[in-house]
Amino acid sequence: MTAWQNDEASFFVEVAKLFIEFDCNEDDSIDRRELRHFLTSLFEMFHIKSPINDDYVDYVFRKIDSNNDNSINLVEMQQFAKIFNNRLVDQAQKALDKLKSESQDDQQ
Ligand SMILES: [Ca+2]
Ligand SMILES: [Ca+2]
């Protein structure tokens, strides 16, 4: 269990800090260039070794930009980060469950 799971408010605060950090031109929105930096850091944080190319950045950008105004605001980023975080937690939990059931099989 991470602190993020226990406290949604502090998770959103962390995302807001990242948002401010990566909003280099301080226009309260994230453009594709800024998103690339954001994704690079996010992937490093979660030890994800996928390559980040222009197509991927564009794909993620359109996914996060839920109102299709061609910019990412803080709320959109927080919603995306929440889904992203939940999915990672699910995957980690499934992997743990798999390990547990395999070790139980060994004992039988
Ligand atoms: Ca910006
Ligand atoms: Ca938007």
Please write the tens of the pLDDT for every residue from 16-47.
Answer: 998 999 999 999 999 999 999 888 887 888 88
CA of 23 relative to ligand 2 center, distance in Å: 14
In this prediction, residues 64-87 reach a mean pLDDT of 91
> How many domains, the chain?
1
5 pLDDT tier (thresholds 50, 70, 90) = low
- What is the rounded distance in angstroms from the CA atom of residue 102 to the CA atom of residue 78? 36
- What is the rounded distance in angstroms from the CA atom of residue 31 to the CA atom of residue 53? 15
In this prediction, residues 82-108 reach a mean pLDDT of 80
**Residue 42 belongs to some domain of the structure:** yes
The CATH number of residue 43's host domain is 1.10.238.10
CA of 17 relative to ligand 1 center, distance in Å: 14
**Residue 106 belongs to some domain of the structure:** no
CA of 60 relative to ligand 2 center, distance in Å: 12
96 pLDDT tier (thresholds 50, 70, 90) = confident
- What is the rounded distance in angstroms from the CA atom of residue 27 to the CA atom of residue 63? 20
CA of 6 relative to ligand 1 center, distance in Å: 30
**Residue 14 belongs to some domain of the structure:** yes
pLDDT tops 70 at residue 108: no
- What is the rounded distance in angstroms from the CA atom of residue 37 to the CA atom of residue 59? 15
CB 64 within 8 A of CB 76: yes
Does pTM surpass 0.85?
A: no
**Smallest-distance ligand from the CA of 34:** 1
CB 19 within 8 A of CB 30: yes
> Which is higher by pLDDT, 34 or 5?
34
37-63: buried (b, 16+ CB within 10 Å) or exposed (e) per residue? Answer: ebbeebeeeeeeeeebeeeebeebbee
**Residue 40 belongs to some domain of the structure:** yes
Domain span holding position 13: 3-101
**Residue 28 belongs to some domain of the structure:** yes
**Residue 54 belongs to some domain of the structure:** yes
CA of 7 relative to ligand 1 center, distance in Å: 27
